[in-house]
Amino acid sequence: MKKLTLSILVSAVLFSSTIAVAQNKEQLVQESRQTVKAFGKTLKGELKAAIKKGGPANGIEVCNTKAMKITEAVSKEHGVQLSRTSLKTRNDKNAPTEWQKKVLEDFEARKAKGESPKKMEYSEIVEVNGKKQFRYMKAIGTGQVCLNCHGEKVLPAVEAKLSALYPNDKARGYHKGDIRGAFVLIRDVQ
Ligand code: HEC
């Protein structure tokens, strides 16, 4: 009888802690969704304004220098590590880590099965060097404006700038609706 009570108690504790983690994770996911949304909106806004002002070649400046600054600022503001990655990167610095590559491949598989990239996301809590880490990824779809610099054909001025800045550019040949890459958000959790 005693044993049974104990096991009920243990499973009750285990159950409630599982729920606590689950709630916590759902909260983390919701926060991340908002952070990434705001981040994406800022990036796109800057990009569109620069293209409107000086054409697509002018927009490269935003992606090349401003994007990094915006990423750092938003990361700091929210106490997280933000980045962008892709299976075909333009900047080698954005290359995916092993787990990020797996998630990107999974996104492609999900898209092949008919899922829209719009709401495609991934999250997990893992232990890294004894510390709990929350990981979140959100797919980035390819819109019309993106084709100016990631499409099959780009303007000569864009071509010239891109090949000068990114000799190892793999982020070309995209079509509308493709998965261009993903936002990555990482933060330490208790
Ligand atoms: C004006 C040119 C231009 C346009 C338009 C553009 N990009 Fe980019 N994109 C770049 C450049 C340049 C980089 C490399 C940034 C860097 O050095 O980190 C880049 C990098 C990226 C990356 C990071 C991964 C990588 O390939 O290195 C993603 C994701 C991305 N772009 C998505 C998009 C999406 C989505 C759109 C449309 C909303 C878009 N881009 C429109 C020029 C552009």
How much is the pLDDT for 20? 56
CA dist., res. 36 & res. 39, Å (int): 5
Both structure tokens of 23:
């709630």
CA dist., res. 168 & res. 90, Å (int): 7
- The residue segments making up the domain with residue 128 are 2-189
Q: Along the 190 residues of the chain, how does pLDDT read in single tens digits?
A: 555 555 555 555 545 455 555 558 999 999 999 999 999 999 999 999 999 999 999 999 888 888 989 999 999 998 999 999 999 999 999 999 999 999 999 999 999 999 999 999 999 999 999 999 999 999 999 999 999 999 999 999 999 999 999 999 999 999 999 999 999 999 999 8
Q: How far is CA 163 from CA 51, 56, 65, 91, 187, in A?
A: 19, 14, 16, 11, 34
What's the 63 CA to ligand 1 centre distance in angstroms? 6
Question: Would you say the CB of residue 64 lies under 6 angstroms from ligand 1?
Answer: yes
Residue 170 CA: nearest ligand 1 atom is: 26
Nearest to 99 by CA among 141, 134, 150: 134
What's the 39 CA to ligand 1 centre distance in angstroms? 14
CB 140 within 8 A of CB 37: no
Record the pTM.
Answer: 0.89
Question: Would you say the CB of residue 74 lies under 6 angstroms from ligand 1?
Answer: no
Return the axis-axis angle of helices 156-165 and 2-61, rounded to nearest 10°: 120
How much is the pLDDT for 4? 57
Query: How many domains does the chain fold into?
Result: 1
How much is the pLDDT for 71? 93
How much is the pLDDT for 61? 86
CA dist., res. 28 & res. 31, Å (int): 5
Instruction: Tell me which DSSP letter residue 119 carries.
Output: G
Q: How far is CA 180 from CA 15, 25, 172, in A?
A: 39, 26, 10
Nearest to 135 by CA among 102, 87, 178: 102
Question: Would you say the CB of residue 146 lies under 6 angstroms from ligand 1?
Answer: yes
